[in-house]
DNA sequence: TATAAAACAGACCGGTTGTCCTGTTTTGTC
DNA sequence: GACAAAACAGGACAACCGGTCTGTTTTATA
């Protein structure tokens, strides 16, 4: 038994410091990671409490039900993650196509660096929860809609600058998101991020690589066991 | 209480007819539907047994564990469903692009007819189970690989006939699958199949529809409650 | 028809899960 | 400092889940 635990167990009743926001964030952190790694149904609140170092009373005070916790993860964390990885970079890019390309490459590079593909948080939860509960579905659909609109808006901005005249903004956004989502699904299942680059290359219509050129095969599968 | 139940409950010990294959198929039917509608973890074996009209002993005889049942669903049913909806039509089509287009349209039409989007069986399970268990992941990855190879092979056949000279078979297949998977994910979350047509149109580079043309919005959401 | 194996019936159990409930402590407010 | 509300502690519990177990019936084989 570690000294810390022993002290906590045998020491005199220590002072407690209330930090509702901090505790809430800690729970959200652990829940986000657990939902991403194991999914909603496979995540047990007991283990979540133990990992976060939170008691049942505290958890129930901030999130009355498991559903409420998941809804908070979706609306706060998943949406924010998508903003950071997709929406902001696309907005900041020189054009919509450049933005999409940059995101694809950045994600592929990050996955190869990590050596493990956990999949897209939004798609992971969307698949598991869309049919399970209307509230889940609506929350997830809203995030998808915002994603699509951000890309479509970027195309429209390009068009106002005289570019992308032959492009339909909504269609382009739909395909970009679908290609990314589907590629992540394949990458997660195969534990190989190279399919992201394949999809990007085909999406951009880049020339076929010379015959006989070895296709780099990134062997991943180095499960991060914390 | 229905007459049937009363008879079954009070009548003399009736004859039993062993039908291992039929019973196995019935269980597989119900499991496939339940996994598709609710996912693996949310599917309880108890309800599955009740729906299929099968006792615990019989279920355990054919499928020792829940995992074994899921593996059978994946290897037999999910693979077969993909063969029927994707691989066979693509092989039978005049070209790879025609095949992909036909599948997209057929699925979109079917979804609109059904009035409900349950999502792609393969992707549904892939998202939930890929990280949960290596056996699941390998089985699912194999199906993805076969899917991709079938499309790539069709491109190669086109190339031997003098077409698609500038197309990379593997990349084309990857994007076709990713676009479909991702579009199904969005369609399932939004309960709107129109995104499938959007992705197909963009994938084929079809001309932008005239400005002001109403985008047909298929309102779905007619959950099949059996 | 004898017999062994396969097919099936149905109860049982240990473990887990999400939620609830009753207290206690901290914190903001007058 | 009084006091009410918020924040937190921690146990209890009922429902449920998946797996196991024993026993019975059917079926294939000889």
CA dihedral B30→B32→B37→B40, nearest 10 degrees, is: 110
Cβ(A143)–Cβ(A122) below 8 Å: yes
Q: State the CB neighbour count (10 A cutoff) for residue B29.
A: 14
Q: Please give the C-alpha separations between residue A60 and each of A57, A70, A133, in angstroms, as whole numbers.
A: 5, 13, 21
Q: Please tell me the predicted confidence (pLDDT) of residue B12.
A: 46
Percent of chain B with pLDDT over 70: 85
Q: What is the pLDDT along chain A (226 residues), one digit of tens a residue?
A: 333 333 333 344 457 898 889 999 999 999 999 999 999 999 999 999 999 999 999 999 999 999 999 999 999 999 999 999 999 999 999 999 999 999 999 999 999 999 999 999 999 999 999 999 999 999 999 999 999 999 999 999 999 999 999 999 999 999 999 999 999 999 999 999 999 999 999 999 877 666 656 555 555 554 443 3
For testing contact with chain B, the best of A124, A126, A127, A203 (most B CBs within 10 A): A127
Judge: B178–A177 Cβ closer than 8 Å, yes or no. no
Question: Are A155 and B160 in contact, with CB atoms under 8 Å apart?
Answer: no
Q: Is the pLDDT of residue B13 over 60?
A: no
Give yes or no for residue B220 having a pLDDT over 70. Answer: no
Instruction: Kindly tell me the sign of the dihedral angle through the C-alpha atoms of B165, B169, B172, B173.
Output: positive
Q: How many CB atoms lie within 10 A of CB B42?
A: 18
How many CB atoms sit inside 10 A of residue A199's CB?
28
Task: Measure the CA–CA gap between B185 and B188, rounded to whole angstroms.
Answer: 5
| Residue B142 CA distance to nucleotide D2 C1' (Å) | 70
Site of tokens 């399919």: A195
CATH no. for B71-226: 1.10.357.10
Q: Residue ranges per domain, chain B? A: 15-64, 71-226
CATH number of the domain located at residue range(s) B15-64 in this protein: 1.10.10.60
pLDDT tens per residue, range B65-100: 999 999 999 999 999 999 999 999 999 999 999 999
The domain defined by A16-64 folds into Arc Repressor Mutant, subunit A (1.10.10)
How far is the alpha carbon of A89 from chain B, nearest alpha carbon, in Å? 21
CB B39 within 8 A of CB B128: yes
Q: How far apart are CA A26 and CA B106, in angstroms?
A: 47
B27 pLDDT exceeds 60?
yes
- Whether B27 CB is under 7 Å from strand C: no
What six digits make up the tokens of B136?
Answer: 């699941």
CA distance A11 to B135: 47
- B183-199: average pLDDT: 98
A178 vs B: CB within 8 A: yes
Residue B44: band (very low, low, confident or very high) from pLDDT cuts 50, 70, 90: very high
């Amino acid at each position: 038994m570690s000294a810390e635990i022993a002290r906590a167990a045998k020491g005199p009743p220590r002072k407690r410091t209330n930090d509702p926001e901090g505790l809430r964030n800690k729970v959200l952190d652990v829940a986000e990671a657990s939902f991403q790694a194991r999914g909603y149904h496979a995540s047990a609140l007991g283990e979540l409490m133990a990992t976060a170092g939170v008691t049942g009373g505290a958890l129930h005070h901030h999130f009355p039900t498991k559903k409420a916790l998941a809804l908070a993860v979706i609306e706060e964390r998943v949406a924010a993650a998508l903003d950071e990885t997709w929406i902001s970079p696309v907005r900041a890019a020189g054009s919509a196509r450049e933005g999409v390309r940059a995101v694809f490459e950045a994600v592929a590079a990050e996955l190869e660096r990590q050596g493990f593909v956990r999949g897209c948080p939004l798609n992971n939860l969307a698949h598991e929860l869309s049919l399970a509960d209307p509230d889940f579905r609506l929350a997830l659909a809203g995030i998808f809609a915002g994603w699509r609109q951000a890309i479509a808006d970027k195309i429209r901005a390009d068009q106002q600058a005289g570019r992308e005249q032959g492009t339909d903004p909504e269609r382009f956004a739909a395909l970009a998101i679908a290609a990314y989502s589907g590629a992540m699904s394949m990458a997660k299942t195969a534990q190989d991020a190279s399919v992201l680059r394949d999809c990007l290359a085909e999406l951009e219509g880049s020339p076929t690589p010379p015959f006989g050129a070895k296709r780099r095969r990134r062997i991943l599968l180095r499960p991060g066991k914390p």
